[in-house]
């Protein structure tokens, strides 16, 4: 059986694209303002309409280049993956105010979340350590990097998951970016993610992940959260993301480093976990006997055993 299909709600996606188009128009207005500042008024009247057309044409070309490959990739992934995989395409999310990610495809399964960027570019390309080049008559010239683009998607989607799903272990360890790249010639070396020249190879790669790390319930929660994720309400987002606690670092009179957290025990434990991830040895979190709102723990640098 083919993959299960899920789509982002049409009305939700419409809201996102309205915000994105407004942002694009704002960029276009800023471009016109720069022209007015740098060029004499008589020339600005001539240049602005031309620059506007070029701006719009470049946007259309970028969208078309992606969309042609996205349809081919979606059809291949749908047919070649199994019903254990949920395939979502053309997803828009707002991670921070005016910070959008547009994902070509997401494949969600018990084995992990696969973030797929699809390109269909004519010509010959090569990539080394995420630096991409296109073959021109004069030789190899730098071009936009699909792997760097998808690294950004991976980073921001991880952040969105932490904000909306919670800090489950799978968020850190079981999200896998990859590229499906259609072109006449391609060579890659030492890039940060796998790059496949067909949806067939990409599908076999995804199916090679066998370990069950995400439950059926969590898969359903992730899919539904993405389907109905709306553009951010900035006031609610600020209230949600602003820490409701304060942190103070210091040293005892004996030189022992400590961290004081004014907030809940849950907040203090979360802060202690952050220090631990940064490489500190962290003591047990305790409540201050004089002020129940204050929690504290001691920190020290981990010794290098090499």
Mean pLDDT of 256-266: 93
At 186 the pLDDT is: 97
- Arithmetic mean of pLDDT, 133-140: 96
**For residues 275 and 272, what is the distance between their CA atoms, to the nearest angstrom?**
5
- Mean pLDDT taken over the chain: 84
Give yes or no for a contact between 160 and 237, defined as CB atoms under 8 angstroms apart: no
pLDDT at residue 233 is higher than 70: yes
**Contact (Cβ atoms closer than 8 angstroms) between residue 103 and residue 226:** no
Q: Where are the domains of the chain?
A: 4-232, 243-301
Per-residue pLDDT tens digits for 161-170: 988 887 555 6
pTM listed for this prediction:
0.69
Alpha helices in 145-279 (DSSP H): 146-164, 169-173, 199-207, 216-227, 234-241, 265-277
274-291 average pLDDT score: 90
Measure the CA–CA gap between 210 and 231, rounded to whole angstroms: 34
User: What local confidence, expressed as pLDDT, does residue 239 receive?
Assistant: 75
> How would residue 57 be classed by pLDDT, with cut points 50, 70 and 90?
very low
Q: Three-state DSSP class for 164?
A: helix
| Residues 147-167, mean pLDDT to the nearest whole number | 90
CB proximity list for 12: less than 8 A, separation 6 or greater: 227, 228, 229, 230
pLDDT, residue 54, reads 41
Whether residue 102 is predicted with pLDDT greater than 80 in this model: the reply is: yes
Strand order in the sheet with 139-143: 139-143, 131-136, 124-128, 185-189
| Cβ-proximal residues to 80 (8 Å cutoff; 6+ apart), any chain | 2, 199, 200, 203, 204
Cα–Cα distance for residue pair 256/300, rounded to 1 Å: 8
Q: 231 versus 44: which is more confidently predicted?
A: 231
């Amino acid at each position: 059986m083919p993959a299960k299909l899920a789509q982002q709600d049409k009305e939700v996606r419409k809201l996102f694209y309205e915000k994105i188009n407004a942002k694009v128009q704002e960029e276009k207005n800023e471009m016109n303002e720069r022209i007015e500042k740098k060029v004499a008024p008589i020339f600005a009247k001539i240049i602005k309409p031309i620059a506007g057309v070029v701006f719009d044409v470049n946007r259309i070309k970028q969208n078309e280049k992606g969309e042609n490959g996205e349809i081919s990739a979606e059809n291949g992934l749908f047919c070649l993956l199994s019903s254990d995989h949920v395939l979502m395409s053309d997803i828009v999310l707002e991670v921070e105010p005016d910070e959008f990610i547009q994902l070509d495809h997401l494949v969600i399964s018990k084995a992990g979340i696969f973030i797929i960027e699809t390109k269909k570019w004519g010509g010959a390309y090569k990539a080394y350590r995420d630096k991409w080049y296109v073959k021109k008559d004069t030789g190899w010239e730098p071009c936009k990097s699909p792997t760097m683009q998808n690294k950004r998607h991976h980073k921001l989607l991880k952040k969105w998951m932490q904000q909306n799903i919670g800090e489950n272990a799978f968020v850190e360890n079981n999200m896998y970016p990859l590229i499906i790249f259609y072109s006449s010639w391609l060579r890659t070396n030492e890039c940060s993610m796998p790059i496949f020249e067909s949806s067939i190879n990409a599908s076999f790669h995804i199916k090679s992940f066998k370990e069950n790390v995400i439950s059926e319930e969590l898969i359903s929660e992730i899919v539904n959260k993405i389907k109905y994720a709306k553009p951010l309400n900035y006031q609610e987002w600020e209230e949600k993301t602003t820490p409701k606690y304060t942190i103070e670092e210091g040293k005892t009179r004996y030189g022992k480093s400590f961290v004081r957290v004014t907030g809940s025990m849950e907040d203090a434990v979360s802060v202690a976990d952050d220090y631990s991830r940064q490489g500190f040895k962290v003591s047990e979190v305790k409540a201050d006997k004089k002020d129940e709102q204050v929690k504290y723990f001691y920190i020290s640098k981990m010794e290098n055993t090499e």
